[in-house]
Amino acid sequence: MTGDDLSFASAGSIADAIKARKLSPVEVMEHFIKRIEERNPSLNAVVHLAPEEGRKAAKAAEQAVMAGKMLGPLHGVPVAIKDLFDFKPGWPATLGGIRALKDFKPNLTCPFAERIEQRGGAIIIGKTNSPIMGYRGITDNYLFGPTGNPFDTKKNPGGSSGGSAAAVADGLFPLAEGTDGGGSIRIPASWCGVYGYKAAFGRLPQWSRPNAFQAETPFIFEGPITRTVRDAALALSALAGYDPRDPFALDETVDFLGAVERPIKGMRIAYSPNFDVFPVESEVAETVRKAVEALREAGAVVSDVKLGIKRSHMELADLWCKIIMPLNVASIAGMKAAGYDLIATTCRPNISIGMTATKT
Q: What is the DSSP annotation of 92-117?
A: ---TTT-GGGTT---S---HHHHHHH
The CA distance from 117 to 166, in Å, is 22
The CA distance from 103 to 70, in Å, is 37
| Catalytic entry in 82, 88, 127, 198 | 82
The CA distance from 19 to 333, in Å, is 48
| Catalytic entry in 13, 130, 164, 184 | 184
pLDDT tens digits, one per residue of 40-57 = 999 999 999 999 999 999
On whether the CB atoms of residues 71 and 234 are closer than 8 A, the answer is no
Is 160 tagged catalytic? Answer: yes
Using 50 as the pLDDT threshold, list the residues of the chain that sit under it.
208-215, 347-360
The CA distance from 170 to 227, in Å, is 10
What pLDDT, on the 0 to 100 scale, is given for residue 2? 76
Domain 3-268 has CATH 3.40.50.300: no
| Catalytic entry in 13, 160, 161, 237 | 160
What does R_g of the chain's alpha carbons equal in angstroms?
A: 20
What pLDDT, on the 0 to 100 scale, is given for residue 340? 86
Element (H, E) at 360: none
Give the three-class secondary structure for 12. helix
What pLDDT, on the 0 to 100 scale, is given for residue 85? 86
Q: Which residues pair with 226 in a beta bridge?
A: 175, 195
Element (H, E) at 293: helix 282-297
pTM for the model: 0.91
The CA distance from 352 to 339, in Å, is 28
Residue in 14, 54, 47 with CA at minimum distance from that of residue 227: 14
Q: Which residues pair with 302 in a beta bridge?
A: 269
- The residue type of 233 is A
Burial class from Cβ neighbours inside 10 Å (0-12, 13-18, 19+) for residue 286 reads exposed
What pLDDT, on the 0 to 100 scale, is given for residue 330? 74
Nearby residues of 53 by Cβ (< 8 Å), 6 or more positions away: 125
Is 82 tagged catalytic? Answer: yes
Is 22 tagged catalytic? Answer: no
The CA distance from 81 to 177, in Å, is 5
